[in-house]
């Protein structure tokens, strides 16, 4: 069975996903954007490419790589592995790229780099102050890869409009999956060209590129599946930095054009434009509000408040790669999941789809799975997780040892009463429903806790508050649940590492194992 949404989840191997995706394209004819699959990414390379990961990097040539921003720097590092020492000059969400002034040391790093990675499209024009040498350096300019040149922009107002769209173009190209794919190919080609086609470094780079391509195929499959299922989201945005990604996903922009034009030109929306935007975000035709927490003006704050008051989903996206995101593609995948919001069981859902539930959803007799884990009866489950996850079976066992641990062996829920049974005896108390809380997790997904508070004379040993999580967001009988207990809901809601798990007492050990393996 899956852990709570804030914890581990498994995924299929890249090879399995890649083959499944290729088969899906053949059957369904569905594809979003281009895919580079299982091929050398240097034009002059003919060596075979091995798909796989976990092998040690072998580098007879190494690279000094400097990227203007960490979005592209993270991709350069992922593709280069141990063969690349990557420096991102803007590397924090606390930095404002629009007001960035490079230091002499920054410019020196750019001029000394073997490979330079720039966004272009005037976003990082400050990097052009460095003495770059295309004869000596490999320069990857993503805007150029996308066919965007300096002639496409109006330079007359560079100083005034340095942070937003120029001549109608959106310079935030790392939010374009197509641009990311082109950048990955260009970086891979630059690495191989510089290292030499027959070098051990080139072999390492190809391996990283193929692993990355498999992840990209998985991402494209995610979008294609949503489109095939007819998932389409309508949104309002405080600013349109991720419009490339939203367009790729198939989301529909409902932001009033007058408001968007004002924001993109760093002007204040008129009272009428703001009123129109507030009415739109609060209306039934909009699923979510997209915000940039780095650029929350008074107008953006008003839209944010309107979305909260109308119980709309709020998707918060910074310009720079967040510190808790390992790779650019991982970040884009999380944002895509947030926008599609079509997988509640794994924590991807719309706020407005969450509904109240009653204690009846948890009624019955329940048994802890912790004794099964300690007795070794869940070993098959741990082995299955290790086969597709990123831990060994022993590491998963240790992880679930912490998560499942509980002194309460069984729970009986009948009417408004809960009876907790363990070695210390039995204790029963009555509970009232106190609503729910939606928790935001670091991975970008969310969870819902349904809250119950003890009433009347609460006996010693009975928890004052109880919170249930069963991956559901609406009324329905729980098939299993995670339970969190304590003295206050505020404190209990902070618990993320310890999630005692219970299945119906009527299920045998083997039935529970089969159920877990099925999920």
- Given a cut of 80, whether residue 71 has pLDDT beyond it is yes
Which DSSP symbol is given to 468?
E
In CATH, the architecture of 231-341 is 3-Layer(aba) Sandwich (3.40)
The tens digit of pLDDT for each residue in 209-249 reads 999 999 999 999 999 999 999 999 999 999 888 999 999 99
Q: Give 209-262 as a 3 state SS string.
A: HHHHHHHHHHHHHHHHHHHHCCCCCEEEECCCCCHHHHHHHCCEECCCHHHHHH
Q: Are 118 and 140 in contact (CB under 8 A)?
A: yes
Confidence at 316, pLDDT banded by 50, 70, 90: very high
The per-residue pLDDT for 150 is: 64
Rounded to whole angstroms, the Cα distance separating 450 from 356 reads: 8
The tens digit of pLDDT for each residue in 119-178 reads 999 899 999 789 999 999 999 999 999 999 765 544 433 333 333 454 458 899 999 999
Contacts of residue 209, defined as CB under 8 A and 6 or more positions apart, other chains included, come to: 36, 41, 49, 79, 184, 188
The CATH number that domain 359-518 falls under is: 2.40.128.20
Comma-separated ranges of CATH 3.40.50.1980 domains in the chain? 63-148+168-222, 231-341
Q: Which CATH number fits domain 63-148+168-222: 3.30.310.50, 3.40.50.1980, 3.40.718.10, 3.90.110.10?
A: 3.40.50.1980
Nearest Cα to Cα of residue 445 among 299, 338, 362: 338
- Given a cut of 70, whether residue 7 has pLDDT beyond it is no
The tens digit of pLDDT for each residue in 338-392 reads 999 999 999 999 999 999 999 999 999 999 999 999 999 999 999 999 998 889 9
Query: Which residues are registered as beta bridge partners of 237?
Result: 290
Nearest Cα to Cα of residue 429 among 397, 389, 457: 457
Q: Helix, strand or coil for residue 123?
A: coil
Distances (CA, A) of 29 to 22, 219, 239, 491: 10, 16, 34, 50
Measured from the Cβ of residue 199, the count of other Cβ atoms closer than 10 Å reads 18
Comma-separated ranges of CATH 2.40.128.20 domains in the chain? 359-518
Q: Are 317 and 291 in contact (CB under 8 A)?
A: yes
């Amino acid at each position: 069975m899956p852990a709570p949404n804030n914890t581990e989840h498994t995924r299929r191997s890249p090879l399995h996903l890649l083959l499944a995706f290729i088969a899906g394209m053949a059957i369904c004819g569905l594809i979003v954007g281009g895919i580079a699959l299982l091929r050398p990414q240097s034009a002059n390379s003919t060596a075979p490419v091995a798909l796989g990961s976990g092998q040690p990097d072998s580098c007879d040539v190494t690279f000094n790589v400097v990227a203007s921003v960490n979005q592209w720097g993270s991709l350069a590092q992922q593709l280069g592995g141990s063969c690349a020492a990557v420096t991102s000059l803007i590397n924090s969400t606390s930095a404002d790229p629009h007001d960035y002034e490079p230091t002499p040391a920054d410019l020196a790093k750019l001029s000394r780099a073997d490979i330079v990675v720039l966004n272009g499209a005037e976003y990082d024009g400050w990097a052009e102050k460095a003495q770059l040498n295309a004869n000596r350096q490999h320069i990857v300019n993503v805007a150029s890869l996308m066919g965007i040149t300096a002639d496409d922009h109006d330079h007359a107002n560079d100083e005034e409009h340095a942070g937003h769209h120029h001549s109608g173009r959106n310079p935030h190209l790392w939010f374009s999956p197509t641009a990311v794919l082109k950048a990955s190919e260009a970086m891979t080609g630059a690495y191989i060209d510089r290292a030499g086609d027959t070098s051990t470094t080139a072999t390492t780079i190809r391996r990283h590129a193929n692993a990355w391509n498999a992840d990209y195929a998985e991402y494209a499959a995610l979008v294609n599946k949503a489109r095939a299922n007819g998932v389409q989201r309508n949104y309002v945005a405080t600013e349109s930095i991720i419009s490339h990604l939203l367009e790729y996903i198939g989301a529909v922009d409902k932001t009033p054009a007058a408001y968007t034009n004002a924001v993109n030109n760093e002007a204040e929306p008129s009272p009428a434009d703001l009123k129109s935007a507030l009415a739109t975000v609060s209306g039934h035709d909009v699923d979510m509000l997209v915000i940039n927490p780095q650029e929350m003006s008074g107008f953006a704050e008003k839209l944010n408040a309107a979305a909260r008051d109308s119980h709309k989903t709020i998707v918060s996206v910074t310009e720079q790669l967040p510190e808790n995101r390992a790779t650019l593609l991982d970040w884009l995948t999380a944002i895509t999941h947030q926008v599609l919001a079509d997988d509640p069981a794994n924590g991807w859902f719309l706020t407005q789809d969450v509904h109240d539930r009653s204690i009846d959803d948890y009624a019955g007799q329940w048994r802890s799975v912790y004794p099964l884990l300690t007795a070794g009866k869940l070993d098959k489950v741990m082995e299955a997780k290790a086969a597709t996850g990123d831990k060994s079976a022993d590491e998963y066992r240790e992880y679930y040892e912490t998560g499942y641990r509980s002194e309460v062996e069984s729970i009986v829920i009948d009417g408004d009463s809960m009876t907790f049974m363990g070695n210390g005896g039995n204790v029963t108390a009555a509970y009232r429903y106190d609503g729910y809380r939606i928790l935001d997790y670091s991975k970008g997904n969310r969870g819902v806790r349904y809250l119950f508070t003890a009433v009347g004379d609460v006996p010693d040993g009975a928890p004052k508050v109880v919170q249930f999580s069963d991956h559901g967001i609406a009324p329905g009988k729980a098939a299993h649940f995670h339970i969190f207990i304590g003295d206050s809901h505020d404190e209990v809601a902070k618990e993320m590492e310890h999630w005692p798990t219970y299945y119906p007492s009527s299920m045998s050990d083997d039935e529970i194992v089969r159920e877990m393996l099925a999920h």
